[in-house]
Structure 1
Amino acid sequence: MDFTAVRAEVDFSRPLQHWDGFGFNYVETAQTRDYAQSPQDYGGFSLLSEEDRRKIVDMVFGDDGLRAAILKMFLDPFHQSEPGGSYDHATTTQWMRYFAREGLKKARAGGRDLVIITTLYGPPAYMTRQGVLRGRDLDPSRKHDLVLYLVNWVRYLRETEGLPVRYVSLHNEGEDWMRWTQTGLTDRPSHDYNLFWPPEQVAEFITLVSEELSAAGLRDVGVTCGETTNWYRFDTWGYADAVADDEEARSRLALITSHGFYSGTYGRWFGEHKSAGIDKLRVLRPDLHAWVTSTSWSQMDARNIKEHHGNIYTAKVNGIIPWAGIQRPTQWVGGDPNPGSAFTVHEDGSWEVRRGYWFYKQVTRAGQPGMTVVRTSAMDSEIAVLGFASNDTPNPDAFVLVNLGRNKRVRVRIKGTRAAAFTAFRTNEDGAERYSPIGTWNIDANTLVYDAPGGTVTTFFAEGN
């Protein structure tokens, strides 16, 4: 062993799981309690010129951009105001739908496609026992109303907007019963929409929504288990068990979903990258994929990519969608608790590309849909390696090397590829390199030797495989 370098390995012949891709989330209406008086566009496209909107869409979905493959769209509580009332799916979703339509066009123009998941942010006030917006408890007599609310939205997106919605998710962090007062009301305007979803309710609604989708002729749209705050809660708070123990829900579940926020400090917000809940369901349903449907941009640095590594290699997911990638800070009451992003839109109509974009691009370009996550290792906890095999897609074998520490030499043993060389791109934390090409490395005796600067993420693409 060479004790002057970190020993690492990528084996492209050892697949761990299928990869569905990295995604994006445009958040429009998230908190306002009175849309007529205080309309909200957290993504900020309403402030931008058409030229600038298209530039951002291209940077997210275009050939030279992130090539995002998954899109998350929220269903807010303002689409129906009374029982049996008409639906208004347009007013509060103008820019989110624009982003989805234009993103789909851009992806397909490049020979790729887009998979959409839509998530219930919160139901209309009349569906809650409290009878107010963001009331805690679902009124049992309104279960069918809520099912129809979800299904009608999916139909609208598919038939009116022509968007390829593939999954509908039941809730957004609905496990956290402590976000309400004892009477089930909301005491902080900074809270975004929500409804409390006990585990048994999740299992019940997987079946109810699945049945209604089929009745509506939307049999190819699957139902997920909603989105707990992190994978620790998905398992330890009883959600995986509730689905596993309900045979009908388990058989109808189309995709395992949760947020992937990480906190290694024990306490209220503790959340590790834990696969136990996913593993329980895959024992019974080996075909199930799992997605992270929101996760922090953190400090928009190399450590953030290590968080993606944890979700992929420790939680064993098949896809990742970070939290709101485009943010207009003044539109989030109290300040977004996860203020990192790919883009920021300012009130004067200007916008900027943030460091998070370039770090995220290092992984999104490497891990495209249809590839496989492969086995990697590194004998240094400040080095993380993510590997993606081509798997007969047009995408080359690729691996991503993250260095959280000081400058380090890394000796990477390469297995299972026909490539004799890898071309590299790098992003660093001081902004001097932003997915910048840094050269080509030849493979010598199945080994690539790389001097990794501290605080960098480097992506290597196989040449000629």
Structure 2
Amino acid sequence: MLRAHVDFSRKLRDWDGFGVCFTDKATVDPEEYFTLNEHHQRFLQEFFGSNGLRMGIVKMFIDPFRLNYCQQDSDEDQIVEVNEYHFYDLPSFHAQLARYILEVARNGGVDLKIILSGLCPPAWMTRQKELSGRDLDPVNRIHYSRYMVAWARYLSVTEKLPVYCLSLHSRGEMWQLWDSYGIPLYSNTGMNLYWSPEMVVDFLKLIRRQLDHNGLEHIGLSPGDTKNWGNFYDWGYADLISEDPLALKAVSLLTSNANLSGNSNDFCSTGIDLIHEKRPDLHAWVTADELRNIRPGSISALYKLIYRTKVNSVILSTTIKNKDSSFSQSKDLSFLKPVCKAGQPGMGVCQVGCNGSDIFIIGFSSNSTGNTDSFVLINDDKLDWNMPIEIRGSASAKFSVYRTSVSENFLRLEDVTVKEGKIHYLAPAKSVSGFYTII
């Protein structure tokens, strides 16, 4: 017998909201810079506007183009001066993006958070003396740490953007990307630097000191975004961090990437669990792959990240290009709308259950945010299912319902009423339905 329930009275963890990461070259390379036009603005309104997804997080990248060769040694204790870096003479598309997104988010009543993720240092800082060289030259250790702090200071202090956290790297554990000389094996490797677990532990302590010394105590620190959560544990990062008290204290947030259609490594919580043994207060954010093929199966993968990996936020990657034709994701976003509308920043992930093999429920409690208790029902099966959903811990007996399916685009349906503790609802095949309490 098919059974399902949502218990709004049992909060599992805080929810920081959904977010977006813009990944294309134009966002990091000044030579690809272009100005936002009305098409881009409409696109961003879909993600952050009051009538859109109302996402609350933006992931930005630290590009390697802001400092020419410096011969003199760098002093860890010297205050970072932003005007020594090329932030003013080289335009930053990410800064332009963030300024507009901040305005849109605030107009929609959402407090935006920005996470910065490192890519690679300027070429001269590497042993290979080329962009994306594998190894950071040890003599430039302080140069690179100050470079990342300069980015954080520029965006936070000069641009007055809400920088929440600095992440050391993006897929920096992937040593297989380089040949034996430290040269990238593939032309599409992207900008990267190899980060060993020992280097991560060292930089956690180093950059934490520098952030504090430069008056940036409010900016948190992440040990970097591994390719997946399995690598964070299996490759020794979580273990080494947990064994170093100063590194563990320096961590403010755990982060990783994941593939929504990936394997068990993408949904592995072992590293998070290990860190939580000593730091149960830490939140975990994950950056998922491109939005281009979001379907009910992708939304069910969000269930796995939220309930099995135990993350507090999911950041979805997309592109924003200098061509009008690149903005054709409205159907993809329609499958996201039910879950993003339900899981606004500050809400709580609540306890759910369902014994259907291809049916999943994601629940969010109000958590004193002013948002209403909500849940999402994902039917990834090929069949329609008549769902008896037990509702626990809700002060309301009525829900508004919106649905996206192969033939519906976030369609408003008739309100449903809780009768004898349950909602009875026919969930069409390959559909995502959002239920929002009516007070």
TM-score computed with the length of structure 1 as normaliser? 0.87
How many corresponding residue pairs?
427
Q: Is the 8 A contact 1:28 1:96 kept in 2?
A: no
What secondary structure does 1:322 align onto?
strand
Match for 1:326 among 298, 307, 319?
319
1:128-151 Cα deviation digits (max 9, x unpaired): 111110000111111100111001
Equivalent-residue separation in structure 2 for 1:113 and 1:463 (angstroms): 24
Q: Please list, as runs of the form range in 1=range in 2, the aligned pairs for 1:243-392 lying within 5 A after superposition.
A: 243-262=241-260, 271-297=265-291, 299-323=293-317, 325-328=318-321, 346=323, 351-392=327-368
Equivalent-residue separation in structure 2 for 1:288 and 1:15 (angstroms): 16
Structure 2: which amino acid aligns with 1:21? Answer: G
Offset of residue 190 of structure 1: 1.2
Offset of residue 110 of structure 1: 2.5
Q: Please list, as runs of the form range in 1=range in 2, the aligned pairs for 1:167-186 lying within 5 A after superposition.
A: 167-186=165-184
Equivalent-residue separation in structure 2 for 1:63 and 1:31 (angstroms): 24
Equivalent-residue separation in structure 2 for 1:225 and 1:355 (angstroms): 35
Equivalent-residue separation in structure 2 for 1:262 and 1:294 (angstroms): 6
Match for 1:12 among 8, 13, 22?
8
Q: Is the 8 A contact 1:244 1:280 kept in 2?
A: yes
Q: Please list, as runs of the form range in 1=range in 2, the aligned pairs for 1:26-425 lying within 5 A after superposition.
A: 26-29=22-25, 39-40=31-32, 46=34, 50-83=37-70, 86-89=84-87, 94-262=92-260, 271-297=265-291, 299-323=293-317, 325-328=318-321, 346=323, 351-405=327-381, 406-425=383-402
Equivalent-residue separation in structure 1 for 2:292 and 2:27 (angstroms): 21
Q: Is the 8 A contact 1:30 1:76 kept in 2?
A: no
The 1:188–1:272 alpha-carbon spacing in structure 2 relative to 1, beyond 3 Å, is: closer
Equivalent-residue separation in structure 2 for 1:175 and 1:227 (angstroms): 9
Equivalent-residue separation in structure 2 for 1:350 and 1:152 (angstroms): 32
Offset of residue 263 of structure 1: 5.4
The 1:210–1:461 alpha-carbon spacing in structure 2 relative to 1, beyond 3 Å, is: same
Q: Is the 8 A contact 1:31 1:191 kept in 2?
A: no
Structure 1: which amino acid aligns with 2:20? Answer: F
1:37-81 Cα deviation digits (max 9, x unpaired): xx336xxxx376x32232222211111111010110101111213
Equivalent-residue separation in structure 2 for 1:352 and 1:126 (angstroms): 40
1:135-192 Cα deviation digits (max 9, x unpaired): 0011111110011100111111012211010100000000110011111101322111
Q: Is the 8 A contact 1:118 1:167 kept in 2?
A: yes
Q: Is the 8 A contact 2:18 2:56 kept in 1?
A: yes
Give the superposed CA RMSD: 2.0
Offset of residue 90 of structure 1: 5.2
TM-score computed with the length of structure 2 as normaliser? 0.92
Alignment correspondent of 1:22: 18
- The structure in which a higher percent of residues are helix is 2
Q: Is the 8 A contact 2:375 2:435 kept in 1?
A: yes
Is 1:462 the counterpart of 2:437 in the alignment?
A: yes
Is 1:445 the counterpart of 2:388 in the alignment?
A: no
Equivalent-residue separation in structure 1 for 2:219 and 2:18 (angstroms): 20
Q: Is the 8 A contact 1:22 1:367 kept in 2?
A: yes
Percent of aligned positions that are identical: 37
The unaligned stretches of length 5 or more in structure 1 are 329-344
What secondary structure does 1:388 align onto?
strand
Q: Is the 8 A contact 1:60 1:67 kept in 2?
A: yes
Q: Is the 8 A contact 2:320 2:326 kept in 1?
A: no
